[in-house]
Amino acid sequence: MIKPNVKNETGKLRTVVLGIGEEFGGVPTLDEAYDPKSKEHIKNGSFPTQEAVLEQLEGLKKVLLAHHIEVLHPQNIPEVNQVFARDIGFVVGNSFVVPNIIAERKKEVEALAPILEQIDPKCILRAPEHVRFEGGDIMPWNDTLFVGFSKDEDFNTYKVSRTNEAGVAFLQAQFPHLKVIALELAKSDDDPRYNALHLDCTFQPIGNHQAIVFKEGFKYETDYQKIENFFGKDNLIQISRDEMYHMNSNIFSISPQVIISEKSFGRLNGILRSLGYTVEEVAYNEISKMEGLFRCSTLPLVRE
């Protein structure tokens, strides 16, 4: 049996679901794509090949296994992109939350069935149909829960708006012992440089009291100020719009001291090392073309 336990973003990782790239469906048509970065690479003829995706996922898996982390996978569904496991479920405390996600991705949730069978049904929380959220927008941080969302006007306008106000309210009701800090994200269906697809595309806590953040990824500066007030300005690593575009905030902590990061993130990796972190560099630049990186590919089930 799996006993879910995730209190924050950086506790020592014990068990994780890693996305898969077998039979991921190849290059989608523009009509089939549902994020602006994928559309950009489809138009440019630079969308990643299945071979590249498999190679980079394997590189990430090798690092996880080297740190004695149990790695699980969803069931393979032919012709479905299952690289980004983060959005199809998430753990808050001892609860595994099964979200309602966009219709195009519902098969991905079904692929978790063998894993969910290993979890006590009393620990599984399913949201009502009108409640919408994806795991990339949900960040437990001890007694706080950060949630990226869109108000109804944006949620009903943008395909890239994945968490609604009902989602925020549901989490507040289900986890009353946590302080929910809701952060409205900047959205664009057309320009990946002005789109925070999920909260982890513009913000992520690291260590015990620090965070990486792109200030303009929030729709309003007042929401960015919530981050600054919480962590303190001196504890924030600010990234640029170009670094946000390349997914610099979407690194993945496997302990408070160890961070998995893209090997091309020279400035960020240098800062992290100067702050005392161990940085495991992995090539993931091809997968980033689908508007996701390390956090997007991983669904932690158990952290110490």
Q: pLDDT by residue for the chain (304 residues), tens digit each?
A: 999 999 999 999 999 999 999 887 788 888 888 899 989 999 999 999 989 999 999 999 999 999 999 999 999 999 889 999 999 999 999 999 999 887 778 888 889 999 999 999 999 999 999 999 999 999 999 999 999 999 999 999 999 999 999 999 999 999 999 999 999 999 999 999 999 999 999 999 999 999 999 999 999 999 999 999 999 999 999 999 999 999 999 999 999 999 999 999 999 999 999 999 999 999 999 999 999 999 999 999 999 9
Q: What single-letter amino acid sits at 277?
A: Y
In this prediction the pTM is 0.96
Residue 266 tokens, joined: 């020279």
Q: For the range 50-54, what are the long-range contacts, defined as Cβ-Cβ under 8 Å and sequence gap of 24 or more?
A: 50/21, 50/22, 50/23, 50/24, 50/26, 52/286, 53/21, 53/24, 53/83, 53/286, 53/287, 54/21, 54/22
In the three-class reduction of DSSP (H, G, I as helix; E, B as strand; rest coil), residue 100 is classed as coil
- Nearest-CA neighbor of 171 among 106, 225, 97, 221? 97
Helices (H) and strands (E) in the chain — how many of each?
A: 10, 15
Q: What is the second-level CATH architecture of the domain 13-303?
A: 5-stranded Propeller (3.75)
Domain boundaries, the chain: 13-303
Give the number of other CB atoms < 10 A from CB of residue 150. 24
